[in-house]
A and B are shown apart, each in its own frame.
Chain A
């Protein structure tokens, strides 16, 4: 135990190399020492190499971290990783986009020549090929993609840590170790692409399934194109600029829109085939399924109606991010899924693209933050730090201590209630946690019946809105 703490103080990646349960046994004082020590170290290392962090530190008058509250003044707004002018994409200025990204990472991008690049996908491939990075992009539900300078090594580390969380959740090696015993991987999405989910899927194929032969994807050969994902937002931006904007939309973009709509028409049949293949090909085996509850529930209801049940092995894992995504299920939804799938280990996580840490839900309804996640609660309007008192609600912000090439101190748009500051969770795990009911401030704003005369409703491209939603789920 104290040995683990010493290892952590030496290198936060000790989390990867030890059983994960030890991370939930650190005493409050140890956790605080670890956080302060590494926050200070990351700040000292990254400040001279990341101009944006340097600027923020100068503005805040902070030269060294001696108190964890100082970090609360050094958090980036979540818009930072999408702060490039949209015209860089519209006008194929990928050289400028590279320069922009270089301001946010200590990874050297000076040798990258992005002249002549015409698509986001090609730009991402170029960075993949010529740097240690495998840049992630967000799903971009608002239409503008964030680009995060994560390294290939970091993504692999995340895959290992996620497997360890599952393995050690109820104690060291209390469940199977996917890393040493590969199992079939079932993923109802795209095999390739640079979206957060696709990047992780690639790592999981290697680490959990031991290769593509043991993995089933809805779209096994296709790439989720960043250019397609960004389509809706780019069209919307153009639309907001009236006739001028429409004139400037490239015909290529509009062709891709049609292509996307065509593909979407085929989707229901593709899903039906995929699920049937998953059921028949991997029946009786312990599998790893990564998806959203909505799809699994629909699959279960349909499957049970056809008389299928207990499909997979009892030691299978179902990993679902983001809970039920606002969908309301019948009270017995969990049992329905369990009866159909034949196993009960469902792992629910709360995670942000910018963070390497995944907070995992316990039976008490609390997401337990990774030991290397330093949490902050902010006043949603003023941004002031709120006291670290159990039961306090506010805007969630964090510093992730693992990333060593970008500053992972971020303010989210999430409204959360936190605990674990004074009293540990009833489940017995030490450390900080977030209550299950996580909401987005942007969703909460709309409901208060204030009426103002300013604003501009959008002429929604319904086809595109639907597609974006489908592609990013």
Chain B
């Protein structure tokens, strides 16, 4: 794709067709023109917090109705805005068309009535969103405390590897009655725009439409960010992934701005010795492991990369791992197309590493990795490969271990999801994994397939954290007065 796209700026219910600046994504040759955001900074954030009031004229039921109607319009086949975003994503994303199509086609599900209600209830508590919830303090007679979750003015720096991220942002902004500016990434400048334009087509003057803005500027552009990240207009910054994007933002942190990071993470797998009970079990385990590694083409933070396997580290153990590697590689080739395909843009640096492993034939067993089909690497020395940080494009590294403790202790603060087999092992080690830094534990094969929809995100409570929690304490006036008097 070499045509020059136009990406409008969405400013509080208005589509601003100003294409003053050009930006170029190297990937797929995608270039686009969009507004010079520095000319609009005063309007992008909400300097007057009183303007949040219109959201409070809405009931939760109104919000659900709005989102449900929006969901019905997010049908890929009928929505030209989404179609444009989908077409662009096909060029910029590491995901193949078949996977992207599935993700875009599933967007309406995120806006289903029950999904929204569950998301609000589990993720925050509808009563807290709707009103003041009484919390009695037993040791302070006469005190009546109430708490309510209010929306906030937020900038969302979204990741571009899945359209779900933009959809979640719009949903959460509405549920929490917040005001949002979505800063799009260069690898997906259109999905958030498509959602906002659909909202404008549906209800241009609705408060939920008018509290969403979408803009692209180059992350780190001081001219824009100095103006935007100001506590007078922004109370929360929600930053997805991207080490650099979060690093840029940290310099704007100051009292009055709350940073919610959805840190860049890596995920892994722990497989207990039970996997080797029988050949049938091993095939079963391999198919589930293939899902965790290969699902969504390993483009997500949830995907498994390093897999600790309690096979034993002796020659026999390594041979067991090699068998698992072959079965997993085969299973990966059989994954349904809407979940996984050979990677269309294999990382050249990773290819160098795989070519080298194959040529040198020392210390590792390589299965596959000849073209773009993915690969499994078995470490003979019981340690992950040196390049474990760049494992992607459906390449997994099996690391044989003797003792599950080695796997547990290898988890660190940058670990997100861990797929575990069998479930009894998960229960046995889950508390210890939590100490080490793991965020989300799943049955093997569940990394993408059990994804908790809009309700849980790795347990980091994004909905609750997006809110401002306000307390209201009442006491008996006479009792309070007594406290002002000497005995």
Q: Is the CB of B264 within 8 A of A453?
A: yes
Shortest C-beta distance, A453 to chain B (Å), equals 4
**Distance, CA A96 to CA B362, complexed state (A):** 9
Q: Which one of A59, A243, A448, A455 lies within 8 Å of B243 (CB-CB)?
A: A455
**Distance, CA A450 to CA B265, complexed state (A):** 16
Listed by A's residue number, 7 A-B pairs whose Cβ atoms lie within 8 Å are: A85-B364, A87-B363, A99-B362, A451-B161, A451-B187, A453-B241, A455-B241
Q: Is the CB of A84 within 8 A of B362?
A: yes
Question: Is residue B335 within 8 Å, beta carbon to beta carbon, of the partner chain?
Answer: no
Q: Is the CB of B388 within 8 A of A452?
A: no
Q: Is the CB of B389 within 8 A of A452?
A: no
Q: Is the CB of B360 within 8 A of A100?
A: yes
**Distance, CA A59 to CA B357, complexed state (A):** 14
Mask: chain B, 335-354; 1 = CB below 8 Å from A; 0 = not: 00000000001001101110
Interface magnitude class on chain B: 35 or more
Shortest C-beta distance, A82 to chain B (Å), equals 8
- Residues of A at under 8 Å CB distance from B? 52, 55-56, 59, 76-80, 83-88, 90-91, 96, 99-100, 103, 144, 237, 239-245, 247, 380-381, 383, 411, 441-442, 444, 446, 448-457
Shortest C-beta distance, B89 to chain A (Å), equals 12
**Distance, CA A84 to CA B26, complexed state (A):** 33
**Distance, CA A79 to CA B354, complexed state (A):** 10
Residues 380-409 of B contacting A (Cβ, < 8 Å): 380-384, 386, 388-389, 392, 406, 409
Q: Is the CB of B218 within 8 A of A451?
A: no
Q: Is the CB of A242 within 8 A of B264?
A: no
Q: Is the CB of B412 within 8 A of A144?
A: no
Residues of chain B lying within 8 A (CB to CB) of residue A455: 241-243, 264-266, 301, 389
Shortest C-beta distance, B182 to chain A (Å), equals 12
**Stretch binding the partner chain, chosen from B152-160, B283-291, B467-475:** B152-160
Residues of chain B lying within 8 A (CB to CB) of residue A448: 25-27, 186
**Distance, CA A450 to CA B303, complexed state (A):** 19
Residues of chain B lying within 8 A (CB to CB) of residue A247: 409
Q: Is the CB of B384 within 8 A of A103?
A: no
Q: Is the CB of A55 within 8 A of B361?
A: yes
Shortest C-beta distance, A249 to chain B (Å), equals 13
**Distance, CA A77 to CA B359, complexed state (A):** 10
Question: Is residue B56 within 8 Å, beta carbon to beta carbon, of the partner chain?
Answer: no
Q: Is the CB of B161 within 8 A of A453?
A: yes
Q: Is the CB of B241 within 8 A of A454?
A: yes
Shortest C-beta distance, B287 to chain A (Å), equals 23
Q: With contacts A241-B383, A448-B27, A457-B264 known, what are 12 further pairs, Cβ within 8 A?
A: A77-B353, A83-B357, A86-B386, A96-B363, A448-B26, A449-B245, A450-B27, A450-B185, A451-B157, A452-B301, A455-B265, A456-B414
Q: Is the CB of B26 within 8 A of A454?
A: no
Q: Is the CB of B436 within 8 A of A240?
A: no
Mask: chain B, 239-251; 1 = CB below 8 Å from A; 0 = not: 0111111100000
**Distance, CA A454 to CA B382, complexed state (A):** 24
Residues of chain A lying within 8 A (CB to CB) of residue B382: 87
Asked, given contacts A52-B359, A87-B381, whether A450 binds B25 with beta carbons under 8 Å apart, the answer is: yes
Asked, given contacts A240-B389, A242-B412, A449-B185, whether A78 binds B352 with beta carbons under 8 Å apart, the answer is: yes
Q: Which one of A80, A442, A454 lies within 8 Å of B299 (CB-CB)?
A: A454
Residues of chain A lying within 8 A (CB to CB) of residue B422: none
- The residue in B264, B265, B410, B412 that gathers the most chain A C-beta atoms within 10 A of its C-beta is B412
Q: Is the CB of A76 within 8 A of B409?
A: no
Question: Is residue B219 within 8 Å, beta carbon to beta carbon, of the partner chain?
Answer: yes
Residues of chain A lying within 8 A (CB to CB) of residue B27: 448, 450
Asked, given contacts A55-B359, A83-B360, A83-B362, whether A456 binds B266 with beta carbons under 8 Å apart, the answer is: yes
Q: Is the CB of B348 within 8 A of A243?
A: no
**Distance, CA A456 to CA B414, complexed state (A):** 6
Q: Is the CB of B412 within 8 A of A83?
A: no
Asked, given contacts A451-B242, A455-B266, whether A87 binds B383 with beta carbons under 8 Å apart, the answer is: yes
Q: Which one of A87, A441, A453 lies within 8 Å of B240 (CB-CB)?
A: A453
